[in-house]
Structure 1
């Protein structure tokens, strides 16, 4: 039974979504059971379905929140004035998000689909598409940098975008394995030493 129209929810939906994000981030899509999610959110399964839909719907909402919150560094990076600053900001954001105190280590977009079997295919495909959109945004930004003369004419925007994404994903995996902020920032710095000159 749905609550009557106009009746306020008995819980803070935004806070509940934040707690669900932490569960998916730490346990992955498949590892996060409905019992884990509802316990963390402090609501019943009925309330979860009424407010967020099924587990897949909830995961989509969590990914949107992640993109606007912990992963907002992607949008910030794309607004930087030079290609080098784009890459620097992107990798620094990956390090900061992957090692942020109080949050699970690593990156939701990487952790969420690791070891996903058939039951997690939808989440895995969703995360693959999400990461691919990030790569495309980087590629387009680097292409503009070539056109503007900020990158040399022979620079390959697609390859540079894949390089930055690969390093960022590797940072997330290393963070999940226990690597700390400072050592991962050093990795990011080393990765940019061979950045193409303008």
Structure 2
């Protein structure tokens, strides 16, 4: 009878931390922060609660790592959009990126940041603050790009970069909510096209 090698007692089971984090992204993306229980997270990540705490910290710390991964991955279209040569191109690329990212068949629909924004418990205050800072950072980058567009003459001199940045981000979040509710990519793109028809031109 063959003898089986056994893992030494007390030695943690090996796992791919990067893969586990990617799975956590999908859980938070689908369920939001409060809807993602530790049981659901650890099952999806393929690790024990002890291993999760040892590797990623508590749920809040894990979420911060997930938000960073989401920003560098699915949400990276924002940084690329800011490199478009015109303000209209920037707005169109941001909204097209939102539509594309929030309706991919292989991913949860909607936006991870928007899905997790409805944190209501006192325990979620720091997560809510982190998400506010995340949204503010994105909006600030857009506002600065539009300020440059005004200085370069690409936008009218009387254009309000801060208002335009709020307009684009608010529409983007609205598209994400619609996507999470089942709106199709074509329907969302139709909204984008309608919203940009009134874009200020010089």
Per the normalisation by structure 1, the TM-score is 0.94
- 1:181 paired residue number: 185
Spell out, residue by residue over 1:104-132, the C-alpha distance to the aligned partner (whole angstroms, 9 max, x if none).
Answer: 11000100122533222221211111011
1:161 lines up with 2:144 in the alignment: no
Count of paired positions: 192
Spell out, residue by residue over 1:123-148, the C-alpha distance to the aligned partner (whole angstroms, 9 max, x if none).
Answer: 12111110111110000000000000
> 1:120, 1:164 → 2: CA distance?
27
The range that moved more, 133-142 or 117-126, is 117-126
Spell out, residue by residue over 1:61-95, the C-alpha distance to the aligned partner (whole angstroms, 9 max, x if none).
Answer: 00000001000000011111110110000000000
Instruction: Pick from 87, 94, 102 the counterpart of residue 90 of structure 1.
Output: 94
> 1:124, 1:97 → 2: CA distance?
22
Rg (Cα) greater in structure: 2
- Given that 2:119 and 2:125 are in contact with CA atoms closer than 8 Å, whether structure 1 keeps it comes out as no
Instruction: Pick from 147, 150, 153 the counterpart of residue 146 of structure 1.
Output: 150
- 1:49 paired residue number: 53
Secondary structure at 1:123's aligned position in 2? helix
Per the normalisation by structure 2, the TM-score is 0.92
The range that moved more, 112-121 or 13-22, is 112-121
Gaps of 5+ in 2: 1-10
> 2:32, 2:62 → 1: CA distance?
13
1:63 lines up with 2:67 in the alignment: yes
Report the Cα offset of residue 9 of structure 1: 7.1
1:29 lines up with 2:33 in the alignment: yes
Gaps of 5+ in 1: 1-6
Instruction: Pick from 88, 92, 106 the counterpart of residue 102 of structure 1.
Output: 106
Question: For the aligned residues, what is the CA RMSD?
Answer: 1.4
- Given that 1:26 and 1:105 are in contact with CA atoms closer than 8 Å, whether structure 2 keeps it comes out as yes
Secondary structure at 1:171's aligned position in 2? helix
